[in-house]
């Protein structure tokens, strides 16, 4: 890839800080910019969806800008491109490590949702599965804190099992699409990545001697499907 693109800008949108560092081992840091995906896109129509015409649909959530980091000129150039595309973005140093907890929350949630056949209502009623999610997430947070020295934001640390049914109910009405159908279609496609990231969290827990019983059990259930 380096030979093909020469000095062109490289924007890394992978969800793990180690991925950004891996790219910087190959490319000059001055041409590497990292960001976090803050939108939904898919090839429409989804199952059961009616659209004016077939093609790529996308939704950019309001309020939440894409965090971007990189060296000065590269950062300025990328922010300008995103602004022209009407994609909200902001410079945020060391965002990958700072946001690793939010990414890990999504990965654990995806595992739980798949075990619930990608349906929010049955998941909301499954207290045992929701408890496993909360326990596994706390283990991941501890492992990531040991690795990066960062802590999850207050909202993530306050999540309780009883809150999840309400959160899941609200989540179904935020985006202008069927979130259950979208998440099943998209995240089954990238299932290998989800599992790989969960295993990476498990390895960090092992490395830092952090409890990981719930996380390891969740990974085994996912592998057995």
Q: Both 103 and 166 in a single domain?
A: yes
Structure tokens belonging to residue 134: 């909360």
User: Whole-model pTM?
Assistant: 0.87
Q: Where does a domain end: 65, 93, 121?
A: 93
| Burial class of 48 by CB neighbour count within 10 A (0 to 12, 13 to 18, 19+) | exposed
Cβ–Cβ < 8 Å for 219, 202: yes
Q: Both 103 and 78 in a single domain?
A: no
Percentage of residues in the chain with pLDDT exceeding 70? 100
What is the predicted pLDDT for the residue at 154? 87
Q: What is the pLDDT of residues 99-121, one digit of tens each?
A: 889 889 999 999 999 999 999 99
Count: domains in the chain = 2
Q: Which whole number is the average pLDDT over 197-219?
A: 96
Query: How far from chain centre, in Å, is Cα 31?
Result: 24
| CATH number assigned to the domain comprising residue 83 | 3.40.50.720
Cβ–Cβ < 8 Å for 11, 78: yes
Q: Both 82 and 192 in a single domain?
A: no
Q: Both 136 and 215 in a single domain?
A: yes
Which range of residues forms the domain containing residue 139? 99-224
Q: What is the pLDDT of residues 114-152, one digit of tens each?
A: 999 999 999 999 999 999 999 999 999 999 999 989 889
Tokens 């040991």, located at residue: 146
Q: Both 219 and 128 in a single domain?
A: yes
Q: Both 88 and 104 in a single domain?
A: no
């Amino acid at each position: 890839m380096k030979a093909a693109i020469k000095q062109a800008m490289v924007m890394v949108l992978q969800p793990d800080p180690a991925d950004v560092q891996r790219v910087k081992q190959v490319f000059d840091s001055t041409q590497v910019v990292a960001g976090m995906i803050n939108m939904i896109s898919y090839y429409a129509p989804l199952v059961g969806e009616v659209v004016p015409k077939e093609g790529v649909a996308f939704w950019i959530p309001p309020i939440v800008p894409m965090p971007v980091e990189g060296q000065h000129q590269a950062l300025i150039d990328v922010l300008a491109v995103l602004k022209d595309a009407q994609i909200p973005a902001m410079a945020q140093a060391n965002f990958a490590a700072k946001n690793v907890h939010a990414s890990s929350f999504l990965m654990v949630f995806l595992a739980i949702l798949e075990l619930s056949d990608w349906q929010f209502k049955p998941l909301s009623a499954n207290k045992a599965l929701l408890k496993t999610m909360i326990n596994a997430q706390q283990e991941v947070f501890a492992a990531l804190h040991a690795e990066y020295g960062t802590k999850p934001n207050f909202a993530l640390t306050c999540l309780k099992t009883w809150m999840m049914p309400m959160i899941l109910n609200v989540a179904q009405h935020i985006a202008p699409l069927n979130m259950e159908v979208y998440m099943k279609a998209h995240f089954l496609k990238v299932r290998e990545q989800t599992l790989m990231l969960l295993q990476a969290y498990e390895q960090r827990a092992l490395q830092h001697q952090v409890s990981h019983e719930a996380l390891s059990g969740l990974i085994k259930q996912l592998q057995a499907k």
